[in-house]
Structure formats: C-alpha cells, structure tokens
Amino acid sequence: MKTITYTASSELGARSLAVQDGHLGEPLKVSITGDGYALTYQRKSRAAVLFELRCRKVRKFLEGFAHRRVCDQQSAILRAMR
C-alpha cells in the first residue's frame, strides 16, 4: 500500500493540505514530531482525485439551480398572497 504524508506545524494545517489533495477521511497515522504534525494517508491516483473534485464542483453547481428554483417558487407564493 502506497502512502503519502502531509507535514505542517499544526494538525489543522496538515489536514488542510490533505483536503486540498482530496483526502476527506481520517488519516491512517498521525505522528507528532518536533517540527509539528505528520498525517499519513493512502495515496490516491491524481486522475481519480481530479475526477472527484470535478464531480463535486458540478454537484454544487446543480444544487445552486435547485436552490434558486425553490426560492423563486417561494417568492411567487408570497406575491400571490399579497
């Protein structure tokens, strides 16, 4: 199993670096060193991560349309009630 390690001065910083690369779950290993924290995750294919990030972006875009539709319906109901 190939792994990748993210190192930062704080655990939050290391998690932030991991999230930028598409690691959303818990790390396999958390190490505290003299320099800070090292989080170890299972390595992912760059193509798979890119695909996941693009799917998430498209999903958010479509959720925006659905939200706008609901808001338009609510405003139409309020206008009709006046």
Q: Kindly state the helix (H) or strand (E) to which residue 46 belongs, with its residue range.
A: helix 46-81
pLDDT tens per residue across span 27-47: 899 999 888 999 999 887 878
Residue 35 burial (C-beta neighbours within 10 Å; 0-12, 13-18, 19+): exposed
pLDDT(22) > 90: no
pTM of the entire predicted model? 0.56
Residue extents of the structural domains in the chain: 1-44, 46-82
